[in-house]
Copies of this chain bind each other. A is one copy, B any other.
Amino acid sequence: MTHRFENHDLVTEHASQMIDVTDDVRQVVERSQVQNGMAVVYSPHTTCSILINEHEDGFKADFADLLERVAPAVGAYYRHDDLSVRTQGIEDETADFPNGHSHLRSGLLPSSQTIPIVDGRLTLGRWQRIFFCELDRSRKRKVLIQVIGE
């Protein structure tokens, strides 16, 4: 079994940004020299997600609107942001950057994607791209890319 693992740094710019990491994943597959196996693309964050969809700006904006309808960033009450009741996981910056909506959005969306590798290539369809999706604000992030196979 061959195993390759890479940890790529990202800096996101705004909420709901989708960063196309398809080429990052392809490069790890190539460096692994795995012919048949799978790639796991993983977010180690609780307010990010890994998505597979079309690289089209209209879709990205539509999806940001959908997330805002499902779990609004403003105008909704979240216990996660109510420091009069919250006792867990409080840090210096918690009060300044309420992100209860970000946790809800990430709860609905996948933390990882698994993609088969066949004959040395990801089996992505013609329109499929892999996105790292920021569900909080501009932050330093990591995307973990693992390839396993032979």
**A contacts, CB < 8 Å to B:** 1, 3, 5, 36-38, 40, 42-46, 51-59, 61-63, 66, 70-71, 78-82, 85-89, 100, 103-104, 106-116, 118, 123-128, 142, 144, 146, 148-150
Contacts and interface: CB of A to CB of B under 8 A. Distances in A.
A108 B80 CA distance: 22
A52 B49 CA distance: 11
Given A42-B116, A123-B44, A107 B150 contact: no
B56 A86 contact: yes
9 contacts: A45-B125, A45-B127, A56-B89, A57-B86, A58-B88, A59-B100, A62-B78, A66-B71, A108-B109
A3 B38 CA distance: 10
Contact of A80 (B62, B124, B128): B62
Contact of A54 (B89, B116, B142): B89
A89 B129 CA distance: 12
A63 B128 CA distance: 24
**List of 7 A-B pairs having minimum Cβ-Cβ separation, nearest first:** A44-B125, A58-B79, A58-B80, A3-B36, A116-B146, A46-B54, A52-B111
